[in-house]
Structure 1
Amino acid sequence: MISQNALDLFAANRAAMAAGDAPHLAAQVLPGPDAVSVTRDVAYVSSAEGASLSEQMLDVYRPADVAAEHPLPVILDFHGGGLYYGSKENNACRDMRLAEKGFAVVNANYRLVPEVSFPTQLQDAMSTLVWIRDHADEYGFDLENVFVTGDSAGGALALYLCAANSSAALAGALGLGTVGGVSGASEASGVSGASSVSGVDVRGLVVTSGMFRLTGGVHATALSYYGEGYFQTPRDHILMKPYLDLDKLIVDAGASFPPVFMMTSVEDFIADNTYELARIFHARHRDHALKVWPRGRERALGHVFHIVQAGDPSAREASEAIEDIAQFCRAYVR
């Protein structure tokens, strides 16, 4: 049961965040059709799995000068917004700019809190990975080179997805073992050597300004309200409580958890979340890289700055951050 106070908080925050995003979204300069080809609003769940909602849609971006049948490395992206706000349109410009650099980018919506809880959002995330597996030929996806990224709360979604995808036992513990037909998917995927739950081995994970703490910490008071939406039922609490401990999540994900690139800035109000995760990766001897941007010289480099500023051609540091993501992915392409 979600209290009225929590519902009011979600509603107020959604309105405030939409108002804050409106100016830069209206002013942004998107790559043109001569640079990026766009396929919009593709449903990633079938009618057999339930009625398709606008939140269960995705866009696909590809460089316009690459034939559709030519397989490209894939970047699957989840937008931020505290798990209760946002849409793929918020990330469209940044993702199109990644596509210009030689990637097929899948920009996915997911159902939002408080209409659903976090475990259901993880089901949506796994469904997008299965959709990529099943539509590789149609959209020119190179299934040997799939990367996952997420910003802010989308970073948490991406992190938990990659952990679950790396371990059948963990996927089962999180209630994801049969999402989208992933049970036995590796045998059916046709991907050489695929050993993951979805049948797609993720080559790398990129998380920017990640909101990895879903409870406790310096934002414990606010998270106590948000948690009413994140974990709405006894089942939600049973599934998630052990894995709110990020160290346990990473340990149980096993050795096949992909290399990780983390990016934040000293002006990011939740930079501590990234520092904590980096400490865990270091302690567990997992392949990772961390970039912390200093205070911006030309403009503030706040939370998810490279997405907010992606549509501003003069935002030099945002452009460099986008190139950093592309370079990390290129380094792990087979």
Structure 2
Amino acid sequence: MNHRNEEATTFSVNGIAFTREDLYATDGRRRLTPLQERLARTWTYLDEDIPADDDMPDDAEYRDFVEYIRRHRASYAFSDVRRLDFRSAVPGTVMKFADIDYAGDGTRSHLLDIFLPKEAYLRGDGDIPVIFNIHGGAFFYSFKEIQNAYAAQLAEHGFAVVCPNYTLAPGGDFLDMLADVSTALQWLMHNGAAWQLSSEQMYLVSDSAGALLGTFLLACETNREMASLLGVPGRGARFRSVGFTSGMLAYDHLFDPSYPDSGELFEKLRPLFRPLIGRLGGTPYERTAALMERIDYPPVWLSTSTDDFLESDSLITAMRLRAMDRDHELHDLRAVNGRRIPHDYPLMTWDSGSAALNDAMIAFFREHLSPRTTLTASV
């Protein structure tokens, strides 16, 4: 159970008690304290899925890949731990159903959370519009728990929010992750009614690396050729709108080293993409533009900023959507007066400026609700 009180000096997450001073503690070397490490494991793997040295293949690129993951998980967790008390908050207007096993195997990678607007759920509304939210994390970091406050903020607007985990690298590759989110979506379509979720009012939201998974999920759901090529059965799910936040939306570097590699993620994580490269190599889908042309896009909302290392992905995607005559809305914020507008800014719900962006996305989604649905539950 997560707990936060503005006046409190002690907090608790999953039974682990801590103070804000515990979150901020540092010895100046950017290393997690033992308590911080315990807390970090509530939202991410650190080394639990890292293979032993003797179990790794004799492959220098793969070994570098694993070491990169180990090092950056610790670095990301050091930055995120100080935000934990803010990211744990779920207001009383939202109900959370946690750790639902969508694949039937009980593994952490196959659990999801559902956030519901409390009034709509208790009133018995049978058609609550639902956001299917694919989290980011560079494909190797974080689970659904890191987005508690963000999902709850969206739910306060009258939408249900479904947040699935998926396999993290190095425990799986990109196609494994895509298969997981596809399975979670199938679970939602078959079981959502038990939580009063509408299968006719579905929206897709994804951030950072999750946006690449979201893009390929859209491709598999709207294009049988792509679903067959990737071995992910498209089930014809129709999203009324899509929201991409600081999205990784272009993968051209996998096939053309001269194409910019934002953050060098594709190069550093190349073993993760080997199966995808094998499936797309020699097909028109080596280029992001070719994939986009074969996706039946619903209206698309995008946000980025001048401090976002993936800004160009959103700008290029908006230009392509414009050329394809697809309904879209782009928010590209500019940092001013020394105030940063960082990557994944809308997820920083403790920052007053992020709320305006999330309000804009929800307003865009509301434009695409069916006429008979109203959002009066939690406003």
Q: Which residue of 2 aligns with 1:65?
A: 119
1:136 deviation in Å? 2.4
Distance 1:120 1:296, change over 3 A: farther
- Residue 227 in structure 1 maps to residue 279 in structure 2: no
2:321 equivalent among 271, 281, 293? 281
The alpha-carbon deviation at position 199 of structure 1 amounts to 4.1
Match of 1:131 among 187, 190, 194: 187
Structure-2 residue corresponding to 1:181:
none
Alignment of 1:294-305 (within 5 A): 294-296=334-336, 299-305=339-345
Letter in 1 for 2:356: E
Look up the equivalent residue of 1:62 and give its one-letter code: L
TM-score, structure 2 normalization: 0.75
Whole-Å Cα distance in 1 between the matches of residues 138 and 115 of structure 2? 25
2:72 corresponds in structure 1 to 13
Q: Quick one: which amino acid aligns to residue 212 of structure 1? A: L
Conserved 8 A contact 1:156-1:212: yes
Q: In the alignment, which residue of structure 1 is the partner of 2:108?
A: 54
C-alpha separation in 1, matches of 2:194 and 2:299: 28
| 1:223-244 C-alpha deviation (Å, 9 max, x unpaired) | 222111232x4xx322244435
Take 2:353 and 2:338, find their aligned partners in 1: how far apart are those partners?
Answer: 9
Partner of 1:157: 213
The alignment status of 1:35 with 2:127, answered yes or no, reads: no
Distance 1:279 1:259, change over 3 A: same
- Residue 246 of structure 2 is matched in structure 1 by 209
> How many residues are paired up?
301
**Structure 2 residue 355 is matched with structure 1 residue 328:** no
Spell out structure 1 runs of 4+ moving beyond 6 A: none
Judge conservation of contact 2:87–2:147 (CA < 8 Å) in 1.
Answer: no
**C-alpha displacement of 1:97:** 0.5
* CA distance in 1 between partners of 2:173 and 2:338 (Å): 39
Question: Which letter does structure 1 place at the counterpart of 2:70?
Answer: A
| 1:252 alignment counterpart | 294
The whole-number CA distance in structure 1 between the counterparts of 2:101 and 2:83 is: 27
Give, in whole Å, the separation in 1 of the partners of 2:289 and 2:87.
39
1:172 aligns to what SS in structure 2?
helix
For residues 64 and 94 of structure 2, the distance between their equivalents in structure 1, rounded to whole angstroms, comes to 44
TM-score by length of 1: 0.85
- Is 1:94–1:322's contact at 8 Å kept on the other side of the alignment? no
Aligned twin of 1:79: 135
Whole-Å Cα distance in 1 between the matches of residues 180 and 138 of structure 2?
16
Is the partner of 1:96 in helix, strand or coil? helix
Note if contact 2:87-2:150 (Cα within 8 Å) is conserved in structure 1: no
C-alpha separation in 2, matches of 1:172 and 1:297: 50
For residues 110-140 of structure 1, the C-alpha deviation after alignment (integer angstroms, 9 at most, x for no partner) is 1112211111111111111111111122011
Compare CA radii of gyration and give the structure with the larger one. Answer: 2
Quote the Cα distance in structure 2 between the aligned partners of 1:45 and 1:15. Answer: 29
Deviation at 1:297, TM superposition (A): 5.6
Of residues 155-164 and 291-300 in structure 1, the stretch that sits farther from structure 2 once superposed is 291-300
After superposition, the Cα gap between the structure-2 partners of 1:105 and 1:298, relative to the gap in structure 1 and judged at 3 Å, is farther
Tell me the SS of whatever aligns to 2:232.
Answer: coil
Gaps of 5+ in 2: 1-58, 371-379
Cα deviation digits, residues 127-173 of structure 1 (max 9, x gap): 11111111122011111110011000011111111121111222111
Does the Cα contact within 8 Å between 2:88 and 2:148 map onto a contact in 1? no
Give, in whole Å, the separation in 2 of the partners of 1:25 and 1:240: 39
Identity %: 24
Q: Greater RCO between the two (CA within 8 Å, min separation 6)?
A: 1
Give distance in 2, aligned partners of 1:298 and 1:107.
Answer: 34
Tell me, in whole angstroms, the C-alpha distance in 2 between the residues paired with 1:52 and 1:67.
Answer: 26
Task: State the shift of 1:327 in Å.
Answer: 0.9
Alignment partner of 1:204: what SS?
strand
